[in-house]
Structure 1
Amino acid sequence: MIKKSYAKINLILEILGKLDNGFHEISSVVQTIDLYDTIIFKQSNHISLKCNIKALENENNLIIKTIKLLKKKYNYPGGISITLNKKIPMSSGLGGGSSNAATTILTLQELWKLPISKKELLNIALEIGSDVPYFIHGGTALIKGRGEKIVKLPPVTPDLKILICLPKTYIHNKTKSMYKSISKTFFTKEQYTKKLVQQIKLKMPINSAMCHNVFENILQSTNPKTFKQFEFIQSSIDKNIHLTGAGMAMFLINTNDTYLYEIQKKINDSTNLVSLITRTIEDEI
C-alpha cells in the first residue's frame, strides 16, 4: 500500500500562554500543501523501516514510535515493513515527521483492521506529538490548545501558490528549543487568528500580509544566520515573508505564479537558500 504524507504551513501561529500541563497554548491556522513524503506499507511479521535518508532509520522515528504504540495498544501480533521516501525537509516547520505519524496511524488502522474510533484516533495522535492530530484531518483548519482542538475551515479562496525557502542548516531539537526560548512578552490574544479565520469563512482572498508567526520575534537571538537571510528577503525582496511552525522554513503565498517565480529567482541569485514552489491542497491525507 502506497500513501502520500503531506506537509503543512502555519498561516498563523500565535502563543496565548502556558497550560497547566507545561505545554504552550497555541492558536494557529494551518494549511496542507502539495509537498509530500511517500510511504510504502507491506504486511510483515516484523517491524522494519528503510528510508532514502539513512539517519532516519532509527527507533526515534515517529513512524516506528507509532507502530509500536498501536501494536501494544491493540495487541496486534504481526508487524509492518515501511519504506519511506523523504521529500519534506527535516526540522523545517513543515510537519514532515508528524504527517508521517498520522499517515501511519490511518494506514495501520486500515491494514490491521483496528477498531479505532474517531476520538481514539485523535488521542493516539496527540500521544505521539502535538502536531499529529491536525494531520489526521488535513486541509485548512484552526488549531487550538496544544494542538488537540481542531476546527475545520472552508478551503482557502482561491487556491494559493506557495514559495518555500529553506536554510541549509539542521537544528537538533529545534522545536523544543524555540518554545523554551519564547517569553510571555510575545504572547498574543488571537487577534491575528480571528482576522484570518473571518477572511477564510467569508471566502475572501488571503495573502502573506495577513500571516503571522510568533517565532519571528526571537529568530535573531536563537538563529542569527537564518535571521540575516530572513531580514534580507524582508528588506530587499518581499516584506511579507514568514516562518512556518517553529522554523526554519520561510514562505510567501500568492495567486500569481509569475510573481512567485520572479521572487524565487531573486532569492536564488542572492542567497544560498533552497527554494521550491508548490500549492495549497484540501483533505488529501
Structure 2
Amino acid sequence: MKSEIAPAKINLTLEISGKRDDGYHNIFSLMQTIDLCDYLTFHKNPWLQIIPEYHNLPATDNLPGFDRNNYLVKNLVYKAAETLKIHTNYKSGAVIELKKSIPSSAGLGGGSSDAAAALRGLNRLWNLKLSDSELAEVGLKVGSDVPYFIYGGTCIISGRGEKIRKVKPILPKWILVILLPFDFKEKTKKLYSYVNSRNYTSGDITKNLEKKIKDEGCDNIRNDLFNAFEDIYAEFFEEYKIWIKKFSEIGIEKVHLAGSGPSVFYISSDEADVLEAAEKISNIANLQLYITRTVP
C-alpha cells in the first residue's frame, strides 16, 4: 500500500497574457499550496477501481453526483491513472481510495491535486521510476494545473500551466478560504470566454512579487496579490460584488479569488487575525469557511 496527500492551492497572482493558437490562454501565476487536503491510498489490483469518500464537503457540492452510480471514468484520478498506464504500457491496475475534503469547482485545484497525487502514488506502487518532470508531462495530458501539483509549494507557473519554476517560499501565512455560493456549469470555459485584451497583463505583477519575496522575505503581501478574473467577476456577476462589499463593511479588506473562483481567500501572518475574520463572517452569513496555512 502507498499513500499520498493532495493539498489545495491558492493563486497569489494570476495574470493572463494572451490567447494561444491552440485555444488556451498563456498565464503567469504565483501558486502556493495550503493544508486543506485530500488523501489517497493505493493498493495493487488487476484493474483500476476508484473508491471515493466525501468528507466535510458543502451540501451543494456536485462531486458526489458527478461520481454517482460507480461511473468514475470522468474523475480526474481515474483519468490520471489511465493516462499513466497508457504512457508506460503498464498492464495491471490499482484500487485507489480517494478521501475528499477539498470542495470541487472552487478554484482550489482539488481535482488537479488529486490527479497529481495519483500519478505520484502509482509511480511508486507500480515501481515505474519516472522523474517529477516525466510525471508533470503526463499530468499535462490530464489538466493544465496538474503539473504544478507534482511539485507543490511556491512556484511560478507560465505557458498554459506546463512551465513550472520553484521559487523562494513565502513566509508562513494563515489563510481563510471562503466558499461563495455560486453554481457554475463549465466554469473555467465560461470565464475564459469573457476574457479580452483589457484583461491581459505582461507578467510583471508576478515577477515583482517574486522579487519582493526573494529580497525582503515578504511578511506582508496583501497589497501585491492579483487575479485577472476579479475584474471579470465584478463585471458579470453582481452577487460577487455584493459579497465583497459585505466583507468590506465588516472590516475584511483585500479578499481575493482563489484561481478561477468562486472561492475567495483572506491572507494574514497572524492566526488571530484570520480567526477574527472567520468569526465576523460567521456572524453575518452561513458560508463554508476553511482556516488553513501555507505549506511547502
What is the letter of the counterpart of residue 102 of structure 1? A
For the 8 Å contact 1:156–1:206, the answer to whether it is kept is no
Aligned equivalent of 1:205? 219
For the 8 Å contact 1:134–1:150, the answer to whether it is kept is yes
Supply the distance in 1 between the matched residues of 2:249 and 2:223 (Cα, whole angstroms): 14
Match of 1:55 among 65, 76, 80: 65
Supply the distance in 2 between the matched residues of 1:29 and 1:219 (Cα, whole angstroms): 20
Percent identity among equivalent residues?
Answer: 37
1:30 aligns with 2:31: yes
Q: CA deviation at 1:222?
A: 3.8
Supply the distance in 1 between the matched residues of 2:45 and 2:98 (Cα, whole angstroms): 16
Q: CA deviation at 1:12?
A: 0.4
Q: CA deviation at 1:259?
A: 1.3
TM-score by length of 2: 0.90
For the 8 Å contact 1:199–1:206, the answer to whether it is kept is no
Supply the distance in 2 between the matched residues of 1:22 and 1:235 (Cα, whole angstroms): 40
Match of 1:169 among 157, 168, 182: 182
Match of 1:191 among 189, 193, 204: 204
For the 8 Å contact 2:113–2:146, the answer to whether it is kept is yes
Aligned equivalent of 2:88? 74
How many residues align? The count is: 281
Supply the distance in 2 between the matched residues of 1:231 and 1:27 (Cα, whole angstroms): 28
Aligned equivalent of 2:57? none
Match of 1:246 among 226, 246, 260: 260
Match of 2:169 among 146, 150, 155: 155
Q: CA deviation at 1:111?
A: 0.8
Aligned partner of residue 193 in structure 2, secondary structure: helix
Match of 1:229 among 240, 243, 249: 243
Aligned equivalent of 1:182? 195
Q: CA deviation at 1:56?
A: 4.6
RMSD: 1.5
Aligned partner of residue 128 in structure 1, secondary structure: coil
Supply the distance in 2 between the matched residues of 1:118 and 1:207 (Cα, whole angstroms): 30
Q: Which runs of 5+ in 2 are unaligned?
A: 55-63
Q: CA deviation at 1:196?
A: 0.8
CA deviation digits over 1:80-107, x for unaligned, max 9?
1111111001111100000001111111
Supply the distance in 2 between the matched residues of 1:138 and 1:168 (Cα, whole angstroms): 27
Q: CA deviation at 1:235?
A: 4.5
CA deviation digits over 1:68-88, x for unaligned, max 9?
111122221111111111100
What is the letter of the counterpart of residue 22 of structure 2? N
Supply the distance in 2 between the matched residues of 1:90 and 1:151 (Cα, whole angstroms): 26
Q: CA deviation at 1:27?
A: 0.5
What is the letter of the counterpart of residue 188 of structure 2? T
Aligned partner of residue 16 in structure 2, secondary structure: strand
TM-score by length of 1: 0.94
CA deviation digits over 1:205-228, x for unaligned, max 9?
233221111111011344332332
Q: Could you say if the C-alpha distance between residues 278 and 184 of structure 1 is closer, same or farther in structure 2, counting changes exceeding 3 Å?
A: same
Supply the distance in 2 between the matched residues of 1:64 and 1:185 (Cα, whole angstroms): 38
